[in-house]
């Protein structure tokens, strides 16, 4: 039916995809890092200490001391396009849009800071998306990552009148396409090195150990991912040893072990001289992969006696990574496109 002359213009009939990553400061300076950490560390999914206890610690100690150290770390990896995470996630969204063409509208957002999830969901709705796939780019489920992103979607739902049909991307740590993509990509990077590594360390982001005891499947997802990758490398690189570890410890609580920095030092002290390290839990290179593993990891390894070290890159927006992301997204869009 023809609309009345004064009817507002409403776009309809489109499919949307929102890629979601963790977040990043706007700039590598103390004030920007402080804003980011204040939001990130105030999320009850991230820090599960009662807020009446945690907020005085956060405001009185953490946000007074940590931003300077973190800002220095960010300054070592910052690019003309912003932080590596911001640049890589934006590149992934552009590349996925090119692959999907007119079948869907692709946007990206960050759980913390900008571009904000609510704003990008509003944008997709305004562009006529009546069906939206929200795709957290976390291969392994964790309450602090995947569930937190879905919390933000739920908050958006509660505050909007007009809503689309929604789907979410499930964990994909053990998807055969994931294992094949990681194996292909890491193998190609190893082949391009000017040395033959003795050991490949698979480093996953750490979590407090209590999250495992409370039923979070993250640790199990990481271990299964590492086991499947190990089986693939055992067939293709039979002489290459593998180790699994967890990085980025924070605070005094006991975290998942073994810790990546301890593994790097111990392996060098035990005679390993040629090491490569990869972070299969990260879809995009970021501060944790470039500075923590690539810079500090190398320093720790060489100080302990290692001679050859390489931090392998994440899948990012490379051909192999985008083939995987397109496969995952098209699978979840089945019946919509």
- Residues 21-46, mean pLDDT to the nearest whole number: 98
Distance CA(256)–CA(331), nearest Å, equals 32
- Residues 213-229, mean pLDDT to the nearest whole number: 98
CB-CB contact of 93 with 19 (8 Å): yes
Q: pLDDT tens across 148-178, in order?
A: 999 999 999 999 999 999 999 999 999 999 9
pLDDT at 4: 77
- Residues 289-300, mean pLDDT to the nearest whole number: 98
Q: pLDDT tens across 99-132, in order?
A: 999 999 999 999 999 999 999 999 999 999 999 9
Joined tokens for residue 26: 């706007």
181: CB partners within 8 A, 6+ apart: 315, 320, 321, 323, 324
Indicate the pairing of strand 165-168 with strand 14-23. unpaired
* Confidence label for 215 from pLDDT (cuts 50, 70 and 90): very high
Q: Left (φ > 0), alpha (ψ -120 to 50) or beta: where does 203 sit?
A: beta
Q: What is the pTM of this model?
A: 0.95
pLDDT at 1: 59
Distance CA(65)–CA(73), nearest Å, equals 14
Q: What is the DSSP secondary structure assignment for residue 201, as one 8-state letter?
A: E
Distance CA(69)–CA(66), nearest Å, equals 5
């Amino acid at each position: 039916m023809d609309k009345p002359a004064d009817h507002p213009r409403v776009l309809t009939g489109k499919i949307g995809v929102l890629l979601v990553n963790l977040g990043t400061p706007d700039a590598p300076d103390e004030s920007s890092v402080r804003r980011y950490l204040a939001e990130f560390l105030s999320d009850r999914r991230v820090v599960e200490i009662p807020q009446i206890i945690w907020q005085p610690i956060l405001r009185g100690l953490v946000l007074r001391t940590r931003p300077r150290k973190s800002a220095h770390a960010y300054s070592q990896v910052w690019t003309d396009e912003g932080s590596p995470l911001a640049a890589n996630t934006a590149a992934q969204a552009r590349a996925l849009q090119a692959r999907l063409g007119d079948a869907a509208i692709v946007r990206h957002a960050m759980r913390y800071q900008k571009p904000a999830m609510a704003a990008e969901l509003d944008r997709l709705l305004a562009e006529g998306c009546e069906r939206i796939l929200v795709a957290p780019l976390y291969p392994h489920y964790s309450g602090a990552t995947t569930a937190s992103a879905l919390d933000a979607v739920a908050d958006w739902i509660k505050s909007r009148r007009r809503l689309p049909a929604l789907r979410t991307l499930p964990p994909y740590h053990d998807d055969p396409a994931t294992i094949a993509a990681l194996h292909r990509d890491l193998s190609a990077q190893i082949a391009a090195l000017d040395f033959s590594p003795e050991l490949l360390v698979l480093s996953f982001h750490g979590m407090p150990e209590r999250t495992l005891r409370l039923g979070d499947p993250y640790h199990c997802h990481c271990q299964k991912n590492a086991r499947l990758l190990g089986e693939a490398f055992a067939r293709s690189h039979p002489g290459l040893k593998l180790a699994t570890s967890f990085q980025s410890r924070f605070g005094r609580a006991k975290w998942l072990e073994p810790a990546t920095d301890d593994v790097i030092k111990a392996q060098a002290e035990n005679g390993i001289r040629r090491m490569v390290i990869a972070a299969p839990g990260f879809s995009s290179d970021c501060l944790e992969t470039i500075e923590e593993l690539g810079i500090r990891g190398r320093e720790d390894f060489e100080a302990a006696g290692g001679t050859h070290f390489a931090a392998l890159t994440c899948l990012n927006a490379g051909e192999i990574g985008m083939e995987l992301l397109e496969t995952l997204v098209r699978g979840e869009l089945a019946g919509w496109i």
